Structure 1
Amino acid sequence: MEALFISAFSVAIAEIGDKTQLLALLLAARFSNRTAIISGMLVATVMNHFLAAIVGEWISGWFNPLYVKYIIALSFFGVAAWILIPDKLESEESKWYRYGPFLATLLLFFIAEMGDKTQVATVLLAAKYQQLAPVITGTTIGVLLANVPVVFIGHFSAEKLPLKWIRISCACLFTIIGISTLLI
């Protein structure tokens, strides 16, 4: 249960102001079918985080558990620092819109999550907890908790949120997870 809760909470916080949240805003502005957008986000996130969790579990199986502990802790500290850097969406990726709301969302979300903070966090959480289903479920819930409201409230932009303080809080959370990894 800890793996599920920590995964959901940390990813939901990390997603606020992230490029995938900005992408959700763009998709909501472009397409009116909210169900298709949310379904595309769900499928893309499950696929992406499944792959990330497999990598996390694989990494932890290849190295001495003591080294894995330090690698994971240092990586959590790295993610904490990374979170402090604001995200921007490079382009609208309008060429994908021709595929319709579900496929466009699935493809764009899957691509946007590659190498993203939440994907890296999923790798680390899977390596730390060694529980694929709770980590994948938790990180997926976290992504949806942060992005589904954006789809429904497309006019409410991320600039209205105190993103600086959210990033600092999230960085503190990942730092605490890193410290707890060292202590356990």
Structure 2
Amino acid sequence: MLTGFTAGLLLISISELGDKTFFIGAILAMRHPRRWVFLGVTAALFVMTLLSVLLGQVATFLPPHYVQWAAVALFLGFGLKLLYDASRMKDQGLAHEQAEALETVNRQEQHITQWSVSSVLTEAFLLTFVAEWGDRTQIATITLAAANHPVGITLGATLGHAICAAIAVVSGKFVAGRLSERWLTTAGGVLFLIFGLVAALEP
């Protein structure tokens, strides 16, 4: 369980920092009460984590060696892709992810004329959930859950998401200006490669 918790925490904390969902939380927190934005974002990420872990548990019905080598292939593939992407990036900030998040939020908010606690919670939840669906961290969480204790993965990934959401909501704009997309992508790629190697070496 501890292994799953640590893996989930590391994976999410590094991969989600500076991601599109990070900026969605940061932008919403500049416009609405932070506590409701944090609650809506965290709830969406928790539900996404639960779904991912459940999907990972479905994979446990397959022969273990198939699951193991599928995990190895996914982690190594993601790791190499991230390192390749990082090698082609200039050492710059996170303007691209921030611009995408801003466009998404503006597109959603143009249809809302009256704000309430429920509307802020709903917007934060839906925007985060949709942005996270199909993301590489969701697929990686499914993969981790297939090979590790589901409770450990759930707790670790949830804590990682909550930490990133808290940073985004409290000081997202300040932090983003000091992060490098290239270095974050490189760190994520290295982490995925480590997970792939660990999965390959498991008996």
TM-score by length of 1: 0.89
Deviations 1:59-105 (A, max 9, x none): 231x2211111001111112224445487326233354436321110
Cα deviation, residue 27, structure 1: 1.0
Taking a change above 3 Å as real, the CA distance of residues 157 and 112 of structure 1, as seen in their structure-2 partners, is same
Unaligned 5+ runs, structure 1 = none
- For 1:137 and 1:45, the matched residues in 2 are separated by 12
Whether 1:156 aligns to 2:155 is no
Cα deviation, residue 58, structure 1: 0.5
Q: Which structure has the larger Rg?
A: 2
The answer on whether the counterparts of 1:80 and 1:170 sit within 8 Å (CA) in structure 2 is yes
When the two structures are aligned, how many residues end up with a matched partner? 181
Taking a change above 3 Å as real, the CA distance of residues 82 and 159 of structure 1, as seen in their structure-2 partners, is farther
Q: After superposing the two structures, state which structure 1 stretch, 96-105 or 8-17, moved more.
A: 96-105
- For 2:28 and 2:162, the matched residues in 1 are separated by 15
Unaligned 5+ runs, structure 2 = 87-95, 113-117
Give the SS at the match of 1:70.
helix
Q: Considering only aligned residues, what root-mean-square deviation do their CA atoms show, in Å?
A: 1.9
Give the SS at the match of 2:75.
helix
State the 4+ residue runs in structure 1 displaced beyond 4 angstroms.
84-87
The answer on whether the counterparts of 1:57 and 1:126 sit within 8 Å (CA) in structure 2 is yes
Counterpart selection for 2:105 from 85, 93, 102: 93
Taking a change above 3 Å as real, the CA distance of residues 154 and 181 of structure 1, as seen in their structure-2 partners, is closer
Counterpart selection for 1:105 from 108, 124, 130: 124
TM-score by length of 2: 0.81
**Percent identical:** 27
